[in-house]
Structure 1
Amino acid sequence: MSVLRGRTVTADRGLPAVARCARWLEALGASVVDGEHLACEGVRITLPGAGDDPVALASSAGVYDGPVGPGRWHPLDVPGCVAAAWAGLGLLAATWDAGRGGAVREGSVPLLDAAIGASELSALLVDDPPRGWEPVRWAASPWVGTYACADGRWVQLHAGMPSHLARLLRHPLVEGSLEVSAETLADPLRVGSPREAWRSRRALRALFRRHPARRWEEVLGGDGLCVVMCRQEAEVRAMFPDGRPLRVRALDVATRPPPPPDGRPLGGLRVLDLTQVIAGPTAGRALAALGAEVTKVVDPHARQGWVEAFRAAFDVGKRTVALDLRTEAGRAALVGLLRDADVVIHGFRPQAAERLGVSDDDIRRHAPAAVIGVVSAYGWDGPFGGWPGWEQTAQALAGTELDYGQGRPELVPLPATDLCTGLLLALGVVAALVGGHAARVDATLLGTALELRDGAPARTAVRRAGLKAVLARRPELVRRVERPGLGALTEIGVPLAMAGVERFGEPGPGAVVPDRARRRLMRTLPWVAVLVGGRIGG
C-alpha cells in the first residue's frame, strides 16, 4: 500500500533539491507533476538558493570545513539532502494539519540554512565548549578507526560502545592480542591514557594485517561486531542496486483520529522516542519542531562521556523520562507510554527489541494504530541485513571514506549520514500519517549515505568558511541558551520557516557546563598528538 497514493504534488524538478524531494514523495506513492516550487493541496514550500552553484553554497555554509586546516571537498550533497528532507517534512506536516481543519500554510527552506544546520555538533564548540566534551580525545580513540589489512584493503572498526569492545576482545580471532584498561572498557572513546591509546593502536594495526579485509568483515561483522570493508561506491551499488534510504509499509489499520488543530502542523501528535546517539534523536527533534509532543526515554545507567552531550544537542524540544528497559519496572512503565503513543521510533535490532519489549508485536499489542519508525544501519535483508553500524561504517561501505581520503579511507568530519537518516525517518512517519494508516517506516544509514552521493558536485577546490563567521552572518538561525545547571549552549535552529514551527525548542537534558579554557587545553594537548599520529601511521 503506497501511503501517499491519491495525493498530487507539484514540483519544479529543474531545481535539484526539489527534484530530490519529489523523487522521495513519488516513491511513497504521490503523483508528481511539473509546476512551481513544491506544493500539495494548497500547501506550498519554496527553497531559496536551490538554483545556486552547489559548491559555492556549501562552501559558504562551512560544509567543507574540517576541525582544522583549509576546506576540503567531499562527495556529499549535504545542502540538497537536508533541504529536500525539511521541505518534504514541512509539506506533508502542513498537509496533514490542513486535512484536520488546520490552516493552509506556506513555508520556506533556504538551502544555506539547511546546510548550516548540518553543523549542529560543531556549533557547540564555537564559543565555550561544554564540560564533559572531549572531542579530540574521542577522535583519538583507536577503537573507532580504519586499519590496513593483509590484502592492502582497509576495514572500518567501530568498537566505541563498552559491550562491543568487550565482545571484540573475547572473539577467537582477537583474544589475547590486546590489553585494555578498566577505564577504557567502561568507555572506549575515553581511552585511559595517551600511552594506552598509542599501544592499542599499534596492536590493532598488527592484528588487522594478519588477514584480508573481507575475512575480518565476514567473521567479525558476521558475528555482530561493527567491522566492514571500505569499498568503492561502484562496489556497494552493485550489491544494493535499489539503494533506497526509506521504505514505508502501510498496514490495513487506520491511525487514530487526529487531535483538533492547535496552530502547529503536528500539534497534539504524541511521539515516543526510544532512539539514541544522532540519527533517531534527529527524527524526534524534527517532529518536536513541527509541534509533536515527543517523550524521550533515556537509559539512566548510560555513562559514556558523549551521552549527555548528544542529549543536549539532539533532544531539544522533548520531554525526557529515564527508564531502565532491562528491568520489569522499566518495561511496565513503558507500556503506559506505548498506549498513549501515535508514533513510536527506535533503533533496536530485532533481538534487542524483543528482549526490551519494543518489537513490532509488542508495540502493536498496546498501540495497534501507531506508526512505527525504525532506524538501522543497513536494513534487514541483503548481505548486511541486521548488522549493527554507525555513521563511520556507512561512510566506509558507501565509498565516501575512500573518495574523501583519495584512496586511503578518511571519515568526512560531518555526521551528515546520521542527520539525513533521521530527517528521512521523520519524513516517512509523517507520510504514513497523511496516508491515514498504521505503518512500519524504515530508514537506513547506508541508503542515506548513497543518497548523499547522488548529485554531489565533482571534486574541486573549495574554501574554508569558518563556522563562527558563518553563524555571525545568520544571527536569526542561532541562539545562546543559558540555563541553571546547564551553562551556555549554542543552538542552530531548524531551517524550515513556517507558521507554527518551533525554530528553537527547550534545550535537551544533560549536565553541560562551560569549562575553563586553560584546563581544557592542557587536558587536550596529549590527545592531539595521538590523533595526528594515528592519521599519519599505517
Structure 2
Amino acid sequence: MKPFNGIRVIEASKTLSCAIAGMLLKDNGAEVVKVCKPNEIFAPLDRGKLVVTDSNENEIGQVIQRSDVLICDGTDKLVERLGSEHVQKDPSFLFILLETPQNVPYELLDVAGNALACAYERPIGPPKFHPFPVAFVLQGIFGACALVAGLIARKRFGTGQKIVVPLENAGVFAQTLIATQKMGIPRGFLPLQMVASPFMGVYPCKDGRFIYLHIAFPEHNRLFLELLKQKGVTEGLVESLDKAISFQTRKDPSKVRSTNEAKIIRRALKRLFSSREASWWEDNFAQKVCCVRVRSFEEWVSETLDTGDFVDIEDPKSGKMRVLGPLVSFDCNDQSSDISPLEMVKAQEVLQRWETKENPSNTKPSEGTPPPLDGMKVLDLSRVIAGPMCSRLLAFFGAECLTIQNPSSLDWSLLFHILFGAGKKSITLDYRSEEGMALLRRCIEEKKFDVFLQNWRSPDVAKRIGLDEQSIRKVVPQIVYVHINAFGDKGKFASYPGFEQVVQAVSGVEHCYGEGRPRLLPIAIADMGAGALAGFGALVGIYHRLQTGEGCSVRVHLTTITNLLQVRQLDRKNARNDGAKPRIVRCLDGYVVLGGTSEVPWIRMLFQKAQEVERKFGGKYFAIRVNPIKEVCLRLANHKEEALRVRKVLYDGIKKPVAFVPIPISMAKSKVGERFLTPVRGAHTKEFLKELGVEAKEGAGVIEYPKEMGRLRYAFHAIRWAWHAIREKL
C-alpha cells in the first residue's frame, strides 16, 4: 500500500511549483485532481492526475469540501477564498498557498518568478537571463515537504492547518550562497577564490567538445595526477602541470595559493585536455575523479533512458510523449509501474467519486501543536550541501538532528556548515579509524535513530564500512534510511562521483546557460533541491512508518533536479510561444526583463527608471523588474511573519554578523523553525563522547573558522580573485 492511499488532493494552479507538489503526492498514492484552464495543462508534470477544465463556483466549493488537501498558487482568488474559509471550518483540512506573481500571462510565469525571486543574480556582474524555473522548482519541493509534515502533524496531533511558501523567500533561499556574499561574508572566507580555481572548470578538447573538471579535495588531486601517468598522457604535459601546483595548493585545490599560480595551472590544463577527445577523458577518468563530457539536455536524456528518470507514455492530448519518472525512490513503494497519462474529467465525475469524506478519527480544533517531528531523532553522516540541507529541513520540522562529520578545516566545507547547520548538534569524529567507528556504532545502538542519512557515492561505499541499510536495520529495524548521491544507482553514470557543478555539466544545464561555451549556473539548485527532495522522502518514510510500523529506504539523486529545471523541453509539441526571447536590459536604477519584442531601445532605457520601463512596455509586451537580492533580503528582514525574516545574526566563533536565510515555510499551527543557530563545527563532540563514557578535554573536536583578515587586506584579495574569475571563467 502506498503511504497516501485515500488522501484526496485538489491542485488549483497554473505554476510549476504546484504541479511538482501535486505530482510528488500523486506518485505516493494520493488521488490528485487538477483544476485549471485548458492551456495551463502541463503533461510532463500532470501525468496521472485527474484534470478538470470546466467547473463553476458551486462545484469547486463542493470538491474542496470533500478533499483532504488544497494546493493553490493564489492566481485564482475564488479558490484561495474557498480554501481559506474551509480550513477554518474543517479541523482536518490542509490548505497550502504557494505564492506566485499576479497578473502575469501563463507563458511568462517562469520568467516573472525568476525576476521577482532573484534567480538571475550572479556573484559578480549584472544578472544573466536563463530559462530554468529555479524559484518555482524549489518552492514546489518545499511545498511538498510542508504538506507531508502537515499530514504527519494531523496524524500525530489531530489538526489540519494553513501553510504558506512565499516565492520570494524560496528564491532567496536558492541563492543562499550569493545572499551571504552580498550581505557581508566573514572576512576569513574568500568564496571567489574557489570560484576562480582552475581545478573547477570547463576545458575545450581536441574534438571541439568540452570536458568539466572538478577537484575539491587533496586526495582527488593526487588521484588525478596518478591517473594521468597511468593512462599514458604525454609526459611533458603531465610534468608541466605537476610542477605548477604548489605545496599549499596540493593541500586544498579549491584554494589555489595565488592568481598567478592559478593562471599557470589553467594554461597547463588547457594544453592537457586539448590533447585528447572529450569522450576519451570521460571514459578513462570519470569513474575515479570528477571529469565528465559536457552534454546537451537531449544527449543526457538519450543516455539515461534505462534509469527510469524518464518514461514514455501515450498522452490523450499530445500523443506519445516523454515525461519525468518518480522523483524519489522508495523500497516500500514501487512508483515506476504507475506512471500513466493524465485523465480529463468533469467536476461532477469527481463529486461522484468523492461522495463522502471521512475525517481522521483524532482530528480536533487546535490553536497550536508541537512540531510534526517532535521527539524524533536523525543521524546525519553527509557533507557538502545536499545532505546537510535535508537534515536542516528535518530539524526545522522538529527532529533532534545529530550531524557527525570527519574533522575538516577546508574553507568551503566550513562555510557550508555555517549555512546549512542550523538547528543541528555538530560532532566531529574520524570514523575511518577503528576507534571512531566503534563509537559511531555504539551511538547508533543506544540512540535508536528514526532517520539515518548519508550521501556517499554508491551503496557499495556504505556496505564496505558496515553502514549500509541492512547493517543499520539489524540494529534499528524501523529506521528510515536516506541515501543521496549525484547520479542514482542505475545506468552508466551510477558509478561516477559528482558535485553540483559536475551534475550541471553532464545533464545539459551548463550547455544551455553558456549559450555556446558551457558555463556554470551560479546557483546551488541541484544540491539544495536534492536535499529538500530527500527531506520529502524522509517525511514520507516517517508517515509510512506511522501507518505500518515499518521502516523504508529512500533514494534521491541530484540529476533529478536538473531534469526538473529543463522539464519544459520534454513538451515540445505544446511548447509555449513566448514571442521574442526575453532578455535582461539595463535601466537607470537596475535591470528589467523584457519579452515579446526584438526591438529594444538600449540607449534610451539607460536613462529611464525600471518602473517607467515596466509601465511603457508592460502593456504591449512584457516587462518586469529584476529584483536585486540585497534589496529583497532587506525587505524580507521586515516580513510580517518573524519566522520568514532574513536577518543578520552573530554565530558562535564568528565576530561579524552574517545573513541568515530561514527555511521558507510558514505553518499556522505547528511550531516549526530553526531552534538554534549553527554551532561551531564539533561544538557537541565532548557532550557526545561523555554520553558514550569517553572522557574528553574542553573544546575537543572543535574546528575553528578561518582567521579573519583586516578590512583592506581582505578587499585587496577579494578584488584580485574577482577580477581573475571574471577574466578566466565568468
Matches within 5 A, 1:176-255: 176-179=239-242, 180-222=245-287, 224-241=288-305, 242-243=308-309, 244=325, 245-250=327-332
SS at match of 1:440: strand
Distance in 2 between residues matched to 1:62 and 1:56, nearest whole Å = 10
Distance in 1 between residues matched to 2:537 and 2:239, nearest whole Å = 46
Distance in 2 between residues matched to 1:279 and 1:390, nearest whole Å = 10
Aligned partners of 2:370 and 2:671 also within 8 Å: no
Are residues 433 and 525 of structure 1, via their aligned partners in 2, closer, same or farther at CA, if it must alter by over 3 Å? same
- Percent of counterpart pairs with the same letter? 29
Distance in 2 between residues matched to 1:16 and 1:76, nearest whole Å = 11
Equivalent position amino acid for 2:280 in 1: R
Aligned partners of 2:328 and 2:555 also within 8 Å: yes
The structure, 1 or 2, with the larger RCO (C-alpha pairs under 8 Å, 6+ apart) is: 1
CA deviations 1:423-475 (Å, max 9, x no partner) are: 00110111122122311111111121111222499752134532111111211
Equivalent position amino acid for 1:250 in 2: C
Bigger drift between 61-70 and 197-206 goes to 61-70
Find the partner of 1:330 among 430, 436, 445: 436
Find the partner of 1:264 among 345, 367, 371: 371
Q: Which residue is equivalent to 1:43?
A: 94
Equivalent position amino acid for 2:468 in 1: S
Distance in 2 between residues matched to 1:473 and 1:60, nearest whole Å = 12
Find the partner of 1:465 among 584, 607, 627: 627
SS at match of 1:320: strand
Select the structure of larger CA radius of gyration.
Answer: 2
Aligned partners of 1:73 and 1:461 also within 8 Å: yes
Distance in 2 between residues matched to 1:227 and 1:337, nearest whole Å = 37
Q: Which residue is equivalent to 2:465?
A: 356
Aligned partners of 2:188 and 2:708 also within 8 Å: no
Distance in 1 between residues matched to 2:665 and 2:12, nearest whole Å = 18
Does residue 341 of structure 1 match 2:459? Answer: no
- Kindly state the Cα deviation for residue 514 of structure 1 after the two structures are TM-superposed: 6.3
Q: Which residue is equivalent to 1:2?
A: 2
Equivalent position amino acid for 2:98 in 1: L
Q: Which residue is equivalent to 1:129?
A: 185
Does residue 373 of structure 1 match 2:541? Answer: no
- Kindly state the Cα deviation for residue 30 of structure 1 after the two structures are TM-superposed: 2.2
TM-score, normalised on structure 2?
A: 0.69
Q: Which runs of 4+ in 1 moved over 6 A?
A: none
- Kindly state the Cα deviation for residue 529 of structure 1 after the two structures are TM-superposed: 3.8
Aligned partners of 1:128 and 1:514 also within 8 Å: no
Aligned partners of 1:364 and 1:370 also within 8 Å: yes
Q: Which residue is equivalent to 1:518?
A: 712
SS at match of 1:44: strand
- Kindly state the Cα deviation for residue 31 of structure 1 after the two structures are TM-superposed: 2.0
Equivalent position amino acid for 2:556 in 1: A
Distance in 2 between residues matched to 1:324 and 1:149, nearest whole Å = 40
SS at match of 1:409: coil
CA deviations 1:241-266 (Å, max 9, x no partner) are: 342442122289xxxxxxxx961111
Are residues 468 and 15 of structure 1, via their aligned partners in 2, closer, same or farther at CA, if it must alter by over 3 Å? closer
TM-score, normalised on structure 1?
A: 0.92
- Kindly state the Cα deviation for residue 504 of structure 1 after the two structures are TM-superposed: 4.0
SS at match of 1:74: coil
Equivalent position amino acid for 1:218 in 2: D
Structure 1 unmatched ranges of 5 or more: 253-260
Does residue 430 of structure 1 match 2:512? Answer: no
Distance in 2 between residues matched to 1:515 and 1:465, nearest whole Å = 31
Distance in 2 between residues matched to 1:532 and 1:146, nearest whole Å = 14
SS at match of 2:241: coil
Q: How many correspondences in the alignment? A: 526
- Kindly state the Cα deviation for residue 356 of structure 1 after the two structures are TM-superposed: 3.4
Distance in 2 between residues matched to 1:87 and 1:331, nearest whole Å = 37
Aligned partners of 1:137 and 1:189 also within 8 Å: yes
Aligned partners of 1:129 and 1:515 also within 8 Å: no
Equivalent position amino acid for 1:139 in 2: V
SS at match of 1:308: helix
Q: Which residue is equivalent to 1:257?
A: none
Find the partner of 1:492 among 661, 678, 681: 661
Distance in 1 between residues matched to 2:666 and 2:432, nearest whole Å = 41
SS at match of 1:127: helix
Distance in 1 between residues matched to 2:158 and 2:399, nearest whole Å = 15
